[in-house]
């Protein structure tokens, strides 16, 4: 299986499976002398961890990050950093049915077509468990960006058709849905409870904002900052669309409406989402990701078995009602990884 690495200078390679010994990441290209300790990962790992809320998969994992290489006396040494997150709460039995039939909407079918043999327990390599390694790598990326004053914040802007109307970023960390609007949060909880009752699942939209990013990050032509951000975000399971700034709405605007007039003090508005010509312009970077409803639902569904014969599948197991809240910290991590890579590529790190 190729394609497990991402980034040019700050290059992350994730490994491991849902029901193996654990998941992890090797980070190449991290500069030396950056303070790094296991405790630095706790906050971010807890935010992604399954089993936090009633709407998450009840799988319980401590998600403690072990630093296996690349750090000496509390500082990075410049050699590859290896981070490992051990799996503890591994129950394979509920997945036994997937030995034979494929989950509609999931990756079982395509993995079988491509590899002919795969670890079907909990999705193996394509399980959301892999994103724990990304969050760990994002912590290291964040350390590189910290002295620059770059801040990456993601939150749930829409869930199950309920849109956040107010923007209280302090409230984001105070609710399990990471939504910035207290009223919308209650309504989202309501639709989630209903979906749970109906054995169904819900999608939504995550917004990411980056403040403090200097102008000049991004490499024309193929490694544009927005192109790399889109790839990073789309590489997360269940993400089905990405927009930067005005995004798809720009298609309906006139040039006079969509341009961001420039003044000596900066841009008058930010429809560009902080990126022009693939290069950061110093304004806030804004992107949104569309997240589909998770495929695992409790309904009886039509499917086929490995021989292509028609079959029925009714799942029982441990699933999220919506992946949206758990994707919030994952997208923050992916954006940090892209920005750290482009910062190192810019050669401006002091
Ligand atoms: C953080 C996170 C949690 C997820 N939780 C679930 C889940 O509980 N059940 C499920 O069927 N899919 C879940 N997914 C989505 C699947 O991993 C994803 O839909 C699947 O791999 C197929 O990939 P695709 O949707 O990108 O085509 C989750 C994804 C992420 C990133």
What is the dihedral angle through the alpha carbons of 143, 340, 325, 169, rounded to the nearest 10 degrees? 70
Check if 330 has its Cβ closer than 6 Å to any atom of ligand 1.
yes
Q: Which atom of ligand 1 is nearest to the CA of 48?
A: 1
Write the residue with the smallest CA distance to atom 19 of ligand 1. Answer: 238
Candidate from 44, 85, 195, 323 with most ligand 1 atoms within 8 A of CB, to mutate: 323
**Per-residue pLDDT reduced to its tens digit, 142-173:** 999 999 999 999 999 999 999 999 999 999 99
DSSP-derived letter for residue 104 is: T
User: Beta-strand (E) ranges in 216-297?
Assistant: 239-244, 262-263, 266-267, 275-276, 279-280, 285-291
Q: What is the 309 CA–ligand 1 centroid distance (Å)?
A: 25
**Per-residue pLDDT reduced to its tens digit, 197-225:** 999 999 999 999 999 999 999 999 999 99
CA distance 103 to 108: 6
CA distance 183 to 189: 10
Strand-pair partners of 152:
210
Which spans in 123-181 are helix H? 131-145, 169-172
Q: Token pair of 224, please? A: 């544009």
**Per-residue pLDDT reduced to its tens digit, 13-53:** 999 998 889 999 999 999 999 999 999 999 999 998 766 66
Work out whether strand 22-28 and strand 11-16 pair parallel, antiparallel, or are unpaired: antiparallel
């Amino acid at each position: 299986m190729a394609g497990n690495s991402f980034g040019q200078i700050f290059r992350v390679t994730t490994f491991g499976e849902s029901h193996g010994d654990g998941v992890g990441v090797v980070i190449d290209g991290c500069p030396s002398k950056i303070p790094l300790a296991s405790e630095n990962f706790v906050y971010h790992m807890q935010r992604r961890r399954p089993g936090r809320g009633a709407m998450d998969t009840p799988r319980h994992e401590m998600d403690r990050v072990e630093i296996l290489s690349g750090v000496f006396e509390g500082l990075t040494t410049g050699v590859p950093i290896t981070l490992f997150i051990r799996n503890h709460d591994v129950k394979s039995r509920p997945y036994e049915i997937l030995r034979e039939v494929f989950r509609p909407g999931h990756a079982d079918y395509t993995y079988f077509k491509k590899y002919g043999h795969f670890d079907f327990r909990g999705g193996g390599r394509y399980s959301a468990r892999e994103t724990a390694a990304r969050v760990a790598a994002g912590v290291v990326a964040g350390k590189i960006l910290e002295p620059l004053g770059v801040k990456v914040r993601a939150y749930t802007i829409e869930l199950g058709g309920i849109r956040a109307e107010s923007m209280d970023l302090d409230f984001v960390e105070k609710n399990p849905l990471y939504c910035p609007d207290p009223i919308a949060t209650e309504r989202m909880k309501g639709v989630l409870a209903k979906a749970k009752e109906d054995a169904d699942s819900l999608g939504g939209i995550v917004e990411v904002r980056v403040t403090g990013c200097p102008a000049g990050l991004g490499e024309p032509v193929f490694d544009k900052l927005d192109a790399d951000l889109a790839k990073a975000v789309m590489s997360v399971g269940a993400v089905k669309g990405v927009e930067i700034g005005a995004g798809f709405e720009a298609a309906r605007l006139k040039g006079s409406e969509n341009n961001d007039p420039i003044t000596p003090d900066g841009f008058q508005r930010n429809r560009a989402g902080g990126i022009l010509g693939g290069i950061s312009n110093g304004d806030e970077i804004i992107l949104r990701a569309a997240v589909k409803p998770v495929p695992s639902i409790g309904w009886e569904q039509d499917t086929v078995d490995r021989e292509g014969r028609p079959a029925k599948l009714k799942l029982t197991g441990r699933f999220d009602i919506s992946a949206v809240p758990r994707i919030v910290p994952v997208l923050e991590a992916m954006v940090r990884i892209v920005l750290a890579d482009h910062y190192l590529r810019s050669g401006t790190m002091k």
